[in-house]
Each structure stands twice: as structure tokens, then as C-alpha cells.
DNA sequence: TTATATCCGACCTATTTAGTCCTAATTAAA
DNA sequence: TTTAATTAGGACTAAATAGGTCGGATATAA
């Protein structure tokens, strides 16, 4: 419980390596997957999510790859998680469907509090805070 | 991802209801499961975990049930999670096995940071903070 | 034209979580 | 002393999620 997924993990590894190389040079999926022992296909799909969300810019063809497009310090971790896991994949209340019943709304409270705490925390942490080296 | 489990959810529901009734009267699993539409057996096992950890005290036999044993305001949420999910079930680094390799230690950092943030937050939140009514 | 990239959906597998079943052990009360 | 209600706890099955693979399409530098 309360674990992040491999996709998030792999994306963070990729981004921190790209930051190392600066935001002009390109980094390919092959490069990152080989250097870190990450499954190529899974990393590839994850990078595609980042590209669609314009966190990263893709260059196709030989000597292609990805480079940073947005400044990681302006991206909230909540946004980042939602890009990778989808808006629903992340901490939604499992009692939503019962929520017409008054009872259920009462019992929702503790879980709400936990989710709010987590969401609030990651709203105040940027991608840069997590991927920076120092 | 980053979700709490049903067992944690059910335990929190149970505890908040028990707090409502005060820490002298007994509350049975049957009562809580019926009132909240929670599977009896699963809740029962969860309450047993709380009893073993002496969060709650069990009284067997007819008109038995559980009552609070420890003050929820002195129990950290990290402790609570570990009681229910076990010390390993909660945010352990998935790269632990590779950790002899220098590479892997470098890439661990972002995940470590996230886990540390979560753990740190829940070290500073008490069970009372989550289950209280107001 | 070819080799090397990203793109993308469909699919399979493994792991984790949720839920069920069955059988004690204990005890209040008829 | 029997019965019914309760907690205790292990073994098992089912469902959901996460992790990983495959096949083919598109773009582009050389």
C-alpha cells in the first residue's frame, strides 16, 4: 500500500538522467533502459506519456530521443502522477458509488482525510524537488 | 497507486465508530459490519490485528466485542499502517536487491525521496487526527 | 532505401488485495 | 450443563492492479 508504481519510478529515473545531460541533448529510451536495467517497452510507453503531456519533447529517427520541454520546477508531483497513472489511478475514494447514502458519507471522512493529506503534500512538491541531484 | 487498502479503511471506520460510543462500551464486529456494509470476515480479521497490537481490547462471548485500549492520539499513523499491513507491506524500496551496484544506488534517490516524504508525513499524524469527528 | 527512433494498441502474466470458508476457543445466560 | 454469541485464526479462492511483452505503424537521418 501507498507505493508508487514502476512506471512512475522509471519516469523519474529517466528525467533525472535527462537533467544531468542538460536540456539540449537527446536521450533515447534504449540508452536509459540499458544503463538502468529497465524493460525497454515499458519505459518506452512511459516516455510517450510524458511526450503527450509535453513534459518532454520527442525527436524521431536515428539519433533521435527525448529532451526536456517544460521546467520541472513548475510541475507539481500531483500533475505528474496523473499524467502517468491517469486522473483516476491515483487516490480516488472507493466509496464514491455508495455516496447517496448518508451513512457512507459519514464513514468516508477518515479516508478523505488521508487522501487529502497525501494530495496536499504532493501539490507542494515539484518534479524538480524529486529529480534534482543535490 | 498511493492508495490505502480496504483493511486500513475498515479499521478506521471501526475505530471512529468506537470513539463515538466512548471507550467503555463494547462494539462487536457484527454491529460495525452491518451498519456500514463491510464484509464481516474481513473486518473480523482486521479487528484481530488491532487486538493483538493492543490498540483495542477484545471481550469474548455473548455481548462481547471490542473497546479502545490505547489513546489514539499517541499512535502514529505509520505505526497503525504497519500493524495492519505488516512492516514490509508499506513503501519498501523495490530496488533493495540490486543495491550492491553503484548505478542502482544513484537511481534509487528519487523514489527514496518520495517514500521519505510520505513516511515523514504519517509520522506526524496521529490516529486521533484521522478518526476524530470534528 | 535502410536503419533507428518514437508511437500506440492489444495482449499476457505476475503480484497484490479483497473476500470467503471452516474450525477452534471462550463465555454469558438459559 | 447446554446453547448461542462472540473473538481467534489458518487455508483458500476471486478480483483487481501492476508489470511486462508483442506486433506493427510512422517519421527521419544517412
Q: How far is CA A39 from the centre of its chain?
A: 17
Cell 516516455 sits on residue: A47
Q: Is the pLDDT of residue B93 over 50?
A: no
| Nearest C-alpha in B relative to A9 | B111
Q: Which residues, including other chains, have CB under 8 Å from residue A41's CB and lie 6 or more apart?
A: none
CA–C1' A59–C20 (A): 53
Helix, strand, or coil (residue B99)? coil
* Cα gap B38→B110, rounded to integer Å: 37
Distance between CA B84 and CA B75 in Å, rounded? 13
pLDDT the model gives residue A109: 80
Nearest residue to B33 (alpha-carbon basis) of B51, B17, B19: B17
Q: Which whole number is the average pLDDT over B15-27?
A: 94
CB–CB of B16 and A89 under 8 A? no
CA distance B109 to chain A (A): 8
Strands A56-59 and B65-68, bridge-based pairing: unpaired
Note the strand D nucleotides within 7 A of protein beta carbons.
4-11, 17-23, 26-30
Q: What angle do CA B50, B53, B57 make, to 5 degrees?
A: 65
Task: Flag if A98 and B37 touch (Cβ within 8 Å).
Answer: yes
When pLDDT is averaged across residues B25-36 and rounded to a whole number, the result is 97
B113 CB neighbours strand D below 7 A: no
Instruction: Please report the pLDDT score of residue B134 as a whole number.
Output: 67
Residues A126 and A76: beta-carbon distance below 8 Å:
yes
Q: What is the rounded average pLDDT of the residues A23-52?
A: 97
Query: Where do the domains of chain B lie, and which CATH numbers do they carry?
Result: 6-131 (1.10.10.10)
What's the rounded mean pLDDT across residues B75-96? 79
Amino acid at each position: 500500500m501507498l507505493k508508487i508504481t514502476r512506471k512512475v519510478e522509471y519516469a523519474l529515473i529517466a528525467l533525472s538522467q535527462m537533467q544531468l545531460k542538460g536540456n539540449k541533448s537527446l536521450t533515447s529510451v534504449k540508452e536509459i533502459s540499458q544503463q538502468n536495467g529497465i524493460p525497454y517497452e515499458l519505459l518506452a510507453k512511459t516516455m510517450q506519456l510524458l511526450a503527450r503531456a509535453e513534459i518532454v519533447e520527442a525527436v524521431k529517427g536515428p539519433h533521435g530521443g527525448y529532451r526536456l520541454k517544460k521546467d520541472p520546477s513548475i510541475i507539481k508531483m500531483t500533475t505528474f502522477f496523473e499524467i502517468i497513472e491517469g486522473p483516476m489511478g491515483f487516490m480516488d475514494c472507493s466509496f464514491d458509488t455508495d455516496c447517496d447514502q448518508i451513512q457512507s458519507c459519514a464513514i468516508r471522512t477518515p479516508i478523505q482525510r488521508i487522501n487529502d493529506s497525501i494530495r496536499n503534500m504532493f501539490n507542494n512538491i515539484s518534479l524538480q524537488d524529486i529529480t534534482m541531484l543535490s
